[in-house]
Structure 1
Amino acid sequence: MKKKLVTLCALIFIGIGSYVGYSILTKDTDKHLDIQMAQSNVSPDKEWIITFDHGINQEIMNAKSVYVQDQDNKPVPVSLKISDPQTLVVKSPNGGYQKEKTYNLYINRDLDLEHVGNENLPKQYHIQFTTM
């Protein structure tokens, strides 16, 4: 009887521990991941043209909602331009990106008027690109 009780307690302990561990590891992580894309052989003077079908949320348009980082996660001074209500242009830095380097372009989900506040989608889009 004592063996069965110890075994039952051990199984309950392992089950609870597994559930708690799983909950901690997966808690809201899906909502914080970003949609990722990758491109190689990108021109050092690449201008990224991003079109939003339902328009751009201009209320949050700033360097925190669209930005580029180098491979060391340092900010890259790009400029942003809205060419029309649905099109955003991310211009390369003065002098262009360095050759044969990897960069990351991040775009906040809420810039797309169609997806503002949609917690079922990732918070940002991520394009990793390598220059030629």
Structure 2
Amino acid sequence: MKKKVWLFSSIFTVCLSTYLYFHSPNVYQDIKKTDIDLYQTVERNKEWVIVFDKGINELLLNSDNIYVLDDRNNHIPVKIQREDNSTIKILPPKEGYKTGTNYYLFINKDLDIEHLGRDTQQKEYKIAFKVDKNV
């Protein structure tokens, strides 16, 4: 059973890392509803697990550097948990995400020790997701 969990976690991490690498637009760009095709569909109580290969810059581990906005740019209160030296978990709001609503998860690239101090044009990863009642 542990091997299956480890395998699933590894596959998920590779997929998420690949997605974040190729789909990391600048947070300062306007959020557009035309991006709807790029949204991941998730359940109301989605817990995001983010793994940083080289570790976490713990000085930046706070709600200013990891946050969720809805499609009206409203800040959504989520809880950030550090699981270990390279993994964080982002818990949903107490009441869950609203069905039919689009959201954006932003993660500061400097949280990843591998990217710390690198001068890049894009400072944050952005994951677009929506909540569907059928999930």
Q: Supply the AA of the counterpart residue of 1:103.
A: Y
Match in the other structure for 2:104: 104
Stretches of structure 1 that go unaligned for 5 or more consecutive residues are 1-31
**Distance in 2 (alpha carbons) for counterparts of 1:95 and 1:120:** 36
Structure 1 residue 33 and structure 2 residue 26: aligned? yes
C-alpha change, 1:49 and 1:121, in structure 2 (3 Å) is farther
Q: Supply the AA of the counterpart residue of 1:69.
A: L
| 1:59 alignment partner, SS class | helix
Structure 1 residue 83 and structure 2 residue 76: aligned? no
1:1-132 matches, within 5 Å, as 33=26, 38-120=38-120, 122-132=122-132
Q: Supply the AA of the counterpart residue of 1:67.
A: Y
TM-score normalized by the length of structure 2: 0.69
**Distance in 2 (alpha carbons) for counterparts of 1:130 and 1:104:** 9
What is the Cα-based RMSD across aligned positions, in Å? 2.0
C-alpha change, 1:101 and 1:124, in structure 2 (3 Å) is same
Stretches of structure 2 that go unaligned for 5 or more consecutive residues are 1-24, 28-34
Aligned positions, number: 100
Report percent identity of matched pairs.
36
**Distance in 2 (alpha carbons) for counterparts of 1:55 and 1:49:** 14
Higher Rg of the two aligned structures: 1
Bigger share in strand = 1
Q: CA deviation at 1:121?
A: 5.4
Q: CA deviation at 1:53?
A: 0.3
Bigger share in helix = 1
